[in-house]
Amino acid sequence: MARSLLIGAQQMGSAVCRLLNGQGLAASLSQLRHASSHAENTNKFLREALNRLDYPEKLQNLLLTPRREMSVELVVQMDDGQIEVFNAYRVQHNNARGPYKGGLRYHPQVDLDDVRSLASLMTWKTAVMDIPYGGAKGGVTVDPRKLSERELEKMTRKLVVAIKEIIGTYEDIPAPDMNTDAKVMAWFFDEYSKYKGFSPGVVTGKPVYLHGSLGREAATGRGTTFAIRELLKAMHMGKLGDQKYVIQGFGNVGAWAAQLLWEAGGKVVAVSDVAGAIANENGLDIGALRRHMSSGKTLASFPDGAPLRKEDILAFPCDVLIPAAIGGVIGPDMAAKLQCKVVVEAANGPTTPEGDLVLRDRGITVLPDIYTNGGGVTVSFFEWVQNLQNFKWEEEDVNRKLDRKMTDAFTALWTVHREMAVPLRTAAFVVALQRVTRAEVHRGFD
């Protein structure tokens, strides 16, 4: 059995595979329309890769489903004395390759299905990046903009208390994701340490002065620029500085990617956040935009950018489109409108299976999330190693090691893309599935 798991690569010919290879686009889309949940969408992509591998059905099911899901209610007394209850989740998808690993998201749209999908993506991401972790994700259904800092801290500490028995330095290691940052990770580390003793390695993305790593804050954006550099090279499209970029989302990932692409000489012609969008055909001055925003002003009020409807950001003409905000933004209708050569998925799950089909049909290359944004968790791994060593690495060292990881991972997925003649997303899942399955099989099932 192990042999067929490891080297088998026969096509199994399921519905998804047939429709992606043979049928017309309209027929394919009508079959895919049933897939609406986030978790099911992720599994659709995964199944397409599984169809290339000769795995027994029971093993496939094991890879498709999470190992543990925890739902809790966080009861918090707000500043005005009222009691609020927040729903929170931690989903542990797979730990065959190492401790569960994945961020914590605070967002009003968080639900169990969303977290399940994001946890699965983490399993495949850590495998693509070849770092010794499994995959998990956590989230709280909350709009953090409506909470005071004190309320946010209380809620975070309640979360730690609720999930502390299933996380740990060698068990499950959370990190930042949307609307969570180094400050939230510091509260997390502090609260966990109260119960379990000093534990800097229980969470990554901490402040640099509090056992965090140099380079972690910029890592996902920096990794994204390394990923684009490798893709451009492989596609003979020139250099980072030769391209026009559009970026949706100007938070941690989007703003760092914009900064580094701009520093490399690229033209960032349009950017957006949750509240608005701006454009400048000659390229925005990203340094000035970041200074503008750090003085408390909105992105949309930046004087050197023309206002743009934020709904129009993704279809703005460019060479490289970088969704760096929420999931599910490129469905079939939006995919039909894009005016770019490549989509580089810095966000998790920005393209739906239906959107993906339209992009393939249009010849638009997609660099998938499980590779593109893997720089964040890679430097989280470096932070964890530094915590275990109790030793701080130089920032140059972190960035050099990150570059190496992104470059090696690209080589692995590009090789499968060429050899199996599959899209880059399927190639990334094939690479990840082979690594996770190898670990599952060699650990055994007793």
Ligand X SMILES: O=C(O)CCC(=O)C(=O)O
Residue 179 labelled as part of a binding site? no
- Contact segment (CB under 6 A) with ligand NAI among 5-13, 16-24, 266-274, 408-416 equals 266-274
The two three-digit tokens of residue 182, written as one number: 């180094």
CB of residue 215 to ligand NAI, shortest distance in Å: 12
With a CB cutoff of 8 Å and minimum separation 6, the contacts of 400 are: none
Q: How far apart are CA 90 and CA 102, in angstroms?
A: 10
Which residues, 363 to 382, sit near ligand X by CB under 6 A?
373, 376-377, 380
- Number of Cβ within 10 Å of residue 18's Cβ equals 14
| Phi (first) and psi of residue 161, to 5 degrees | -60, -40
Among 28, 117, 179, 204, the residue binding ligand X under the rule CB under 6 A is 204
Choosing among ligand NAI, ligand X, none, which partner's interface includes residue 284 (Cβ < 5 to 8 Å by kind)?
none
Tokens 């004087």 — which residue?
303
Choosing among ligand NAI, ligand X, none, which partner's interface includes residue 244 (Cβ < 5 to 8 Å by kind)?
none
The DSSP bridge pattern shows strands 100-101 and 172-173 to be parallel
Q: How far is CA 444 from CA 95, 399, 432, 441, in A?
A: 13, 36, 18, 5
Taking CB positions, which residue lies at the least distance from ligand X?
103
CB of residue 188 to ligand X, shortest distance in Å: 12
Report if residue 177 touches ligand X, rule: CB under 6 A.
yes
Residue 252 labelled as part of a binding site? yes
Taking CB positions, which residue lies at the least distance from ligand NAI?
251
Q: How far apart are CA 81 and CA 75, in angstroms?
A: 12
Binding pattern to ligand X, positions 347-366, x when CB under 6 A? -x------------------
- Number of Cβ within 10 Å of residue 62's Cβ equals 17
Report if residue 99 touches ligand NAI, rule: CB under 6 A.
no
> Based on CB atoms, which residue is closest to ligand X, 25 or 166?
166
On the 0-12 / 13-18 / 19+ scale of CB atoms within 10 A, 26 is: exposed
Among 42, 120, 156, 272, the residue binding ligand NAI under the rule CB under 6 A is 272
- Number of Cβ within 10 Å of residue 214's Cβ equals 20
Which residues, 84 to 103, sit near ligand X by CB under 6 A?
101-103
> Based on CB atoms, which residue is closest to ligand X, 178 or 358?
178
Choosing among ligand X, ligand NAI, none, which partner's interface includes residue 204 (Cβ < 5 to 8 Å by kind)?
ligand X
Report if residue 217 touches ligand X, rule: CB under 6 A.
no
Residue 101 labelled as part of a binding site? yes
Q: What is the 3-state secondary structure (H, E, C) of 113-168?
A: HHHHHHHHHHHHHHHHCCCCCCEEEEEEECCHHHCCHHHHHHHHHHHHHHHCCCCE
With a CB cutoff of 8 Å and minimum separation 6, the contacts of 83 are: 75, 76, 77
With a CB cutoff of 8 Å and minimum separation 6, the contacts of 416 are: 422, 427, 428, 430, 431
Residue 380 labelled as part of a binding site? yes
Choosing among ligand NAI, ligand X, none, which partner's interface includes residue 102 (Cβ < 5 to 8 Å by kind)?
ligand X
- Contact segment (CB under 6 A) with ligand NAI among 21-29, 75-83, 155-163, 323-331 equals 323-331
Residue 220 labelled as part of a binding site? yes
| Whole-number CA gyration radius for the chain | 21
The two three-digit tokens of residue 39, written as one number: 């978790």
If phi > 0 it is left, if psi is from -120 to 50 it is alpha, else beta; for residue 148 that is beta
Catalytic residue, candidates 44, 58, 137, 244: 137
CB of residue 146 to ligand X, shortest distance in Å: 23
- Contact segment (CB under 6 A) with ligand NAI among 207-215, 242-250, 260-268, 433-441 equals 242-250
Which residues, 282 to 311, sit near ligand NAI by CB under 6 A?
310
Coil, strand or helix at 323: strand
Active site residue 244: no
Q: Which amino acid, residue 112?
A: L
Among 94, 179, 243, 426, the residue binding ligand NAI under the rule CB under 6 A is 179
Choosing among ligand NAI, ligand X, none, which partner's interface includes residue 325 (Cβ < 5 to 8 Å by kind)?
ligand NAI
Q: Which active-site residues does the annotation give?
A: 137
Known binding residues for NAD(+): 220, 252
Q: Report the interface residues with ligand NAI, using CB under 6 A.
A: 176-179, 220, 248-254, 272-274, 310, 324-326, 346-348, 373, 376
Residues that bind ligand X (CB under 6 A): 101-103, 125, 175, 177, 204-205, 348, 373, 376-377, 380
